[in-house]
Amino acid sequence: MTLTVNEFEHAYKEEVLQLFAESWQEATVDQQFAALASLVKRLSATDWSATKQATVKHATKQVYYFSIEFLPGRMLATNLLNLGILPTVESAFKDMHLNLKRVLGIEVDPGLGNGGLGRLASSFLDAMASIGIDGNGNGLRYQTGLFKQDFLNGYQVELPDDWLRNGYVWETRKIERAVVVRFGGQVSLMPGANGSLAAQYRATENVLAVPYDIPQIGYQNGHVNTMRLWQAEPPTMGQPLTAEQREEISAITQSLYPDDSTEAGRRLRLRQEYFLVSAGLQSIVRHYRRTHQDFSQFAASVAVHINDTHPAMAIPELMRLLLDEGHLDWERAWSITVQVMSYTNHTLLQEALETWSIDLFAPLLPRIYQIIQEIDRRFRDQYRAQYGDDFVNAIAPLGNNTVRMAYLAVLGSHAVNGVAALHTQLLEESVLNGWYQLVPERFSNQTNGITLRRWVQLANRPLAKLLDKTIGTHWRQEPLAIEAISQFGDQPKFLAKLNAAKLKNKRALAAYIKRTRGISVDPTAIFDVQIKRLHAYKRQLLHLLRIIDQYQQLKAGLDIGPKHVHIFAAKAAPGYYYAKEIIKVINAVADLINHDTQVNRQLQVVFLPNYSVSLAERIIAGADVSEQISLAGKEASGTSNMKLMATGALTLATMDGANIEIYHAVGADNIMTFGLTSDQVQQHQRDYDYSARDLFDRDARVHRIVSALIDGTIPGIEVEGRDIYQSLLQYNDEYFVLADLEAYLHAGAALDAIYQEPERWAQMVVANLAASGRFSSDLTVAGYARDIWHVTPMTGGRPHAI
């Protein structure tokens, strides 16, 4: 979009006036934000409407990305960038003596997700728009997000994340597109009806699903897609409801991941999941029906992606719509459903593979349950003769009185994928092995990606500018073009500039740490960063043990190499007691070290609360070391690993998830890896030959480090220190922390030694930057488009040649 600085200024001032009846000079920062965002929405409206009309006119295939989580982060800067007016707005704000950075910084992060899964979903929406696919998000409009994290005496406290309090500027309520989602009640099969198995369903509860649409602006290509979020509301017609019934309805979109430790909590989650898929699919079918008489073109017109198992009920729900409302027979309906659906698995962890008890499921969703039973029965009939009862029972969707959502998702989809090469391989060999034997052609790998525009162009301006000056701006359009930077790996002048750009980012991060935590850190120290959800398998504990080791070395008068600042950010699930204990211990160690004048000039520890997309934007640009130290085989992919390597940090990693692909992309010399491989871990698990206690008894250093958890070295952690100590020694260290400790200490020290040679360090960074283009989610999504959704990215006017 072309817009002069003057035109923009005029439009902006007018917007402030219209919205607030204030002159632009009087507007508060909040008003400046609201006016600018509203103007951006206005500027994108024509393209948004045109994109929607074009999809109807050309009947292009629509992709719908169903996800229980999204993490869009702040949208204003991204939208300005994608519209192509960021430089214009920057100049105008300068002209008007207004502070754009401050304005951008007050936007709230939508509380619609909790981790990598949600961020990936949002990065895919950005990519779909940017490569010109008609790809829409389908999610829930939670009133409150996961929680706001703070620390009290080192403990995590969870405050409500009331992100919608002041409204959300990007959304538009679309009451005219509302649908009704039904729960409870009874089903009667319609007899005869040409074997269609259609049913009449009388529900006991009707819930109004009201969509809120948010534009997803493509990168400088005029393509604007829609993220549609559903809100549950009492219906406007029918019997009056009691206050309690109304509350039950609003609860459906009240909060993300309600506590599922109680029956009531589990029931609520199930209601959420069905609400998400039913509202989404009803609206898809209605949209399709506007231009089609029958369902013969449905599979050619629609792709529905099931992001993890939460939306797996999309399969029986589409069957219901095709059977009961479309009056198709079963075979036809099933064939369409399988062609439409595809499923991504995001974890091998047992606790995250959803199952629903039939006692809960059947009364709440009687028709869906009936359809799942029929899917199950037909599956058994089809394979029993060939494979025998045991095999079929083992992999059927209904097992042990539960519905197994991952199995349902594989059975009802034409494509199933994991999110990194190792993860897909492990899926095929273990969790979904039965299915892999049965339908190997459905499986593929699609390694995750990231929105490089957000992490490099927006969150790392000093680096972006340096890249522009060195290789031109082509990399901004074409992610792989960044490879050109590798030619500069031997130019000392450039390497010095690269280090200077990093230092600038570290200064900004240090200032943020000072402002928010009151801790002064030295920007010339090595900034060693671990940012991700807190989970035992991600092994923040391993990192902590290294810090304890460094502390002990310093106390003993030894040298630990360069000055070190360890930076953590991580939320622990509210019910995950062990993860919260780790947080407490990290904070206690931080307290001890930061206040000990004997060590704190060499070593500091900072735990930044409330990890979020916007906090990640601050931390990542300022990182030197990227800690990716999960137990091999446990991290499906990881995406912070990609963000950090793409913005100039070096990776200290186990061979897990996408770390392996980073390793191959940058070459063994430009990454520091250590520890057990996934095969070795499995071998130990099979042979039962790992003894953490032996290691502890045998190795004096390990003994010394681990003992610090219980010997009073760290004040204030009597309970937590003991629990963690016991998890290692009494419960034999389920995540092989001690098994990898020695190797980790060595690898960390080796990386520290390189840090003492700034030029060599910068050379390694260059190799990482040069290889980062392949982790663009534009490319990942192009892979999904080609292999799974069978849609063609638009080429005309599109920035990326894919």
If binding is defined by CB under 6 A, does position 120 make contact with ligand NBG?
yes
Among 638, 675, 748, 773, binds ligand NBG (CB under 6 A): 638
User: Which of 533, 584, 618, 634 is the catalytic position?
Assistant: 533
Of the candidates 606, 530, 526, the one whose C-alpha atom is nearest the C-alpha of residue 563 is 526
Residue 532 a catalytic site member: yes
Stretch that binds ligand NBG, among 70-78, 123-131, 295-303, 633-641 (CB under 6 A): 633-641
Residue nearest to ligand NBG (CB): 116
- Residue 660 CB, shortest distance to ligand NBG, in Å, is 12
Q: Give min distance, CB of 726 to ligand NBG, in A.
A: 26
Which part of the chain contacts ligand NBG (CB under 6 A), choosing from 109-117, 296-304, 329-337, 371-379? 109-117
The verdict on 657 binding ligand NBG (CB under 6 A) reads yes
Is position 352 an interface residue for ligand NBG (rule: CB under 6 A)? yes
The answer to whether 538 is a known catalytic residue is: yes
Distance from C-alpha of 210 to C-alpha of 190, rounded to nearest angstrom:
30
Q: Residue 310, interface with ligand NBG (CB under 6 A)?
A: no
Candidates 88, 226, 448, 659; binder of ligand NBG (CB under 6 A) is 448
777 makes contact with ligand NBG (CB under 6 A): no
Stretch in the footprint of ligand NBG (CB under 6 A) among 183-191, 262-270, 273-281, 637-645: 637-645
Question: Using the rule CB under 6 A, is 126 a contact of ligand NBG?
Answer: no
Rounded to whole angstroms, how far apart are CA atoms 255 and 696? Answer: 44
State in angstroms the smallest separation of the CB of 656 from ligand NBG.
9
Choosing from 110, 116, 211, 489, the residue that interacts with ligand NBG (CB under 6 A) is 116
Q: Residues of 242-251 as b/e, b for ≥16 C-beta within 10 angstroms?
A: eeeeeebbeb
Q: Does 117 bind ligand NBG (CB under 6 A)?
A: yes
Exposed / middle / buried, residue 347 (Cβ in 10 Å: 0-12, 13-18, 19+)? buried
Which of the residues 538, 539, 566, 571 is marked catalytic?
Answer: 538
Burial 203-231 (b: 16+ CB within 10 A, else e): bebbbbbbbbbbbbbbbbbbbbbbbbbbb
Minimum CB distance to ligand NBG smaller for 117 or for 666: 117
φ/ψ bin of 163: left (φ > 0), alpha (ψ from -120 to 50), beta (otherwise): alpha
Choose, from 532, 535, 539, 564, the residue flagged as catalytic: 532
Interface residues for ligand NBG in 479-498 (CB under 6 A)?
Answer: none
Taking contact as CB under 6 A, which single stretch among the options 279-287, 450-458, 583-591, 632-640 is the one that binds ligand NBG?
632-640
Q: Count Cβ atoms within 10 A of the Cβ of residue 98 and give its class: 0-12 exposed, 13-18 middle, 19 or more buried.
A: middle
Binding to ligand NBG (CB under 6 A) within 385-444 occurs at: 419
Strands 179-183 and 205-217: what pairing?
antiparallel
Chain centre to alpha carbon of residue 305: 15
Helix ranges, 21-115 (H): 29-57, 76-83, 86-95, 100-105
**Closest approach of ligand NBG to the CB of residue 634, in Å:** 8
Shortest distance (Å) from residue 532 CB to ligand NBG:
8
Amino acid found at 276 = L
Regarding 311 and contact with ligand NBG (CB under 6 A), the answer is no
| Nearer to ligand NBG among residue 449 and residue 648 (C-beta) | 449
- Report how far residue 618's alpha carbon sits from residue 137's, in angstroms, rounded to the nearest whole number: 26
**Nearest partner of 343 among 295, 290, 404, 282, judged by Cα:** 404
Query: Looking at 45-53, 116-124, 364-372, 732-740, which segment touches ligand NBG (CB under 6 A)?
Result: 116-124
55 near ligand NBG, rule: CB under 6 A = no
Q: Is 50 left (phi over 0), alpha (psi -120 to 50) or beta?
A: alpha
308 binds ligand NBG (CB under 6 A): yes
| Per-residue exposure over 178-188, b if at least 16 CB sit within 10 Å of its own CB, e if not | bbebbbebebe
- Whether 533 sits among the annotated catalytic residues: the reply is yes
The window from 55-63, 204-212, 345-353, 563-571 that contacts ligand NBG (CB under 6 A) reads 345-353
Residue 680 CB, nearest approach to ligand NBG (Å): 20
115 near ligand NBG, rule: CB under 6 A? yes
629 part of the interface to ligand NBG, by CB under 6 A: no
Taking the least distance from each CB to ligand NBG, the nearer of 407 and 494 is 407
Instruction: Give the interface size with ligand NBG as a residue count (CB under 6 A).
Output: 16
Task: Specify whether the backbone of 610 is left (phi greater than 0), alpha (psi in -120 to 50) or beta.
Answer: left
Greatest pairwise CA separation for the chain in angstroms: 87
Question: How far is residue 348's CA from residue 765's CA, in Å, rounded to a whole number?
Answer: 32
What SS3 class is residue 496?
A: helix
Residue matched to tokens 């930077």: 485
Q: Which residue of 637, 647, 713, 776 would you call a contact of ligand NBG, by CB under 6 A? A: 637
Contacts of 319 (CB under 8 A, 6+ apart): 333, 334, 337, 371, 375
Q: Which stretch binds ligand NBG (CB under 6 A): 395-403, 544-552, 629-637, 764-772?
A: 629-637
Give the shortest CB-633-to-ligand NBG separation in angstroms. 12
Rg (CA), the chain: 27
Catalytic residue among 55, 88, 337, 639: 639
* Residue 134 engages ligand NBG in binding (rule: CB under 6 A): no
Q: Is 586 exposed, middle or buried (0-12, 13-18, 19+ CB in 10 A)?
A: buried
Measuring CA to CA, which residue among 249, 251, 253 is closest to residue 241? 249
- DSSP E strand boundaries for 385-449: 398-399, 402-404, 415-418, 443-445
Running DSSP on this structure, what letter comes out for residue 351? G
Catalytic residue (one of 41, 223, 228, 346): 346
Select 112 or 588, whichever has its Cβ closest to ligand NBG.
112
- Residues 215 and 169: their CA atoms lie apart, in Å, by 11
> Residue 28 and residue 18: Cα distance in Å, rounded?
15
Instruction: Please select the residue that binds ligand NBG; options are 148, 320, 346, 546, rule is CB under 6 A.
Output: 346
Active site residue 504: no
Give catalytic status of residue 515 as yes or no: no
- Give the whole-angstrom CA distance, residue 173 versus residue 397: 37
Shortest distance, CB of residue 423 to ligand NBG, whole angstroms?
8
Tell me if 445 contacts ligand NBG by CB under 6 A: no
Half-sphere exposure of 35 (CA within 13 A, CB side): 28
Verify binding: residue 347, ligand NBG, rule CB under 6 A. yes
Q: How far is the CB of 613 from ligand NBG (least distance, A)?
A: 14
**Residue nearer to ligand NBG on the CB measure, 657 or 675:** 657
| Binding segment (CB under 6 A) for ligand NBG, from list 294-302, 388-396, 636-644, 759-767 | 636-644
The smaller minimum CB distance to ligand NBG, of residues 113 and 793, is found at: 113
Q: Do 447 and 421 meet the contact criterion of CB atoms below 8 Å apart?
A: yes
The residues that touch ligand NBG, with contacts defined as CB under 6 A, are 115-117, 120, 308, 346-347, 352, 419, 448, 635-639, 657
Instruction: Write out the catalytic residue numbers.
Output: 346, 532-533, 538, 639, 643
